[in-house]
Amino acid sequence: SREERARQAPLAARMRPESLDELVGQEDLVGPGRPLRLALEGGRLGSMIFYGPPGTGKTTLAHLIARHGRAHFEQVNAVTSGVADLRRVIEAAAERWRFHGQRTVVFIDEIHRFNKAQQDALLPSVEDGTIILVGATTENPFFQVNSALLSRCRLFRLEPLEPAHIDQVIERALQSEKGLAGRFTLEDRARERLLRAAGGDARRALNSLETAAWVAEAAGRTQIELADVEAALQAPPLRYDREGDQHYDVFSAFIKSMRGSDPDAALHYLARMLEAGEDPRAIARRIVIHASEDVGNADPQALVVAVAAAQAVEVVGLPEAALNLAQAVLYIATAPKSNATYRALAAARQDVKEHGALPVPPHLRDAHYPGAKRLGHGEGYLYPHDYPGHYVPQEYLPSALAGRRYYEPSDQGYERELARRLEAWRQQRPEQGARRLR
């Protein structure tokens, strides 16, 4: 029977809020006087997309929208449904509206998994109001949802639930007749562990609580203990999509932590990426780039260490190569920082774009082939090793850029020595009106 199926449903499904007042968290959206609550209570239904982490209420809000609007609720799985499935849903919605005057809320979970053709198939029915589309995505919709579809929907961002919100959810599940009906108590340490492990995800908290209750019951206990929760948690998957928003956010935090000389934060994000199954080659490539982009000649050894770690990934592989990556991350995070190499290359590239392929000065041109001297190639070239200190002032840049400076070493690490050396050489040059590029 329907009642029996409801009793057998997972705890997270049984505890789904049936009204806005039961919804925990997201006060900025559904608190008193907030935009989504006002729209629902006023019956002003429109297509919308909810963007946020798992277990924060996206599916619940879709059900509540249908309930408030007395609309038929239709759920579509973005992974298994094709364009033909969508058309059947839309045709049924059109008939329901035409013959019964009832709107249809079409809830598409993981809408970011729909391809362009599937998303385009929704446009006409969203535009003419045949369906009220409610899309849910854990990925940034500006990356994953067609701009045409996005422009026809209101976008609402949901935030991870606070520990206090998760605690409310857990306590309600323990006491509610729909939940565990007061049959279990929860040890304080077990509660704290659940709150930490939930990571702002109410569904994860409820699933873990239900499994922990089964473990306690099997042991003949009515108190859920820390060991029961640990057994239930085992190794929960990290929220990290290698092709989505989390990928870019965690990589960005990883890079900025190395650049910001915070080895602990850099190691944290490295561990998150490795645990989530990120390609170690991609991590190694970023470390190698960072070694030159943000350390450079302030510590030339950084590039050597980074390249060695990248080679270790190829030779050793995971899991052992994680140590090599960690060593390189720690070296770079604690190295003196300089972006002088990055700025110098950017300035030189800009001159090449603006001035094109300027003539190479005659004294620097290739003079090894017969006839080169007749063309004046190499004439006037001064061989530095014939001079004291193995240096002699002469112009190497094209004449139109004579005196241009791209590389200005910082005062960090080894670049202090390079700055001293360059200044000594530049003092010997006749042109002290050298043009610097900042």
Is the bond preceding 362 in cis, omega lying within 30 degrees of 0? no
Classify each residue of 223-238 as buried b or exposed e, where b means 16 or more C-beta atoms within 10 Å of its C-beta: ebbbbbbeebbeeeee
Cα distance between residue 132 and residue 96, in whole Å: 13
Instruction: Identify whether the C-beta of residue 84 lies closer than 8 Å to the C-beta of residue 110.
Output: no
The rounded distance, in Å, linking the Cα atoms of 245 and 151 is 20
415 membership: H or E segment, kind and range: helix 415-427
Strand (E) or helix (H) holding 282: helix 280-290
The domains located in the chain, with CATH, are 26-157 (3.40.50.300), 163-233 (1.10.8.60), 245-334 (1.20.272.10), 341-427 (1.10.3710.10)
Phi-psi region of 337 (alpha: psi -120 to 50; beta: other; left: phi over 0): beta
CB-based contacts of 105, cutoff 8 Å, min separation 6:
45, 62, 65, 66, 69, 71, 72, 73, 74, 131, 132, 134
Q: Report percent pLDDT > 70 for the chain.
A: 88
User: What phi, psi does 404 have (nearest 5°)?
Assistant: -65, 140
> Which helix (H) or strand (E) element contains residue 155?
strand 154-157
- The secondary structure of 336-364 as a DSSP string is ----HHHHHHHHHHHHHHHH-SPPPPGGG
Phi-psi region of 43 (alpha: psi -120 to 50; beta: other; left: phi over 0): left
Q: Mean pLDDT in runs of 10 for the chain (438 residues)? A: 62 87 86 84 83 88 87 85 86 91 90 84 88 87 82 88 92 93 93 89 90 92 92 65 60 88 88 82 90 89 93 83 91 89 84 76 61 53 74 74 76 80 75 45
Q: In Å, how far are 30, 248, 302, 332, 407 from 254, measured between CA atoms?
A: 34, 10, 17, 12, 27
pLDDT of 345 reads 85
pLDDT of 185: 94
Question: What is the radius of gyration, based on Cα positions, of the chain?
Answer: 32
For helices 245-259 and 263-275, give the axis angle rounded to 10 degrees.
Answer: 150
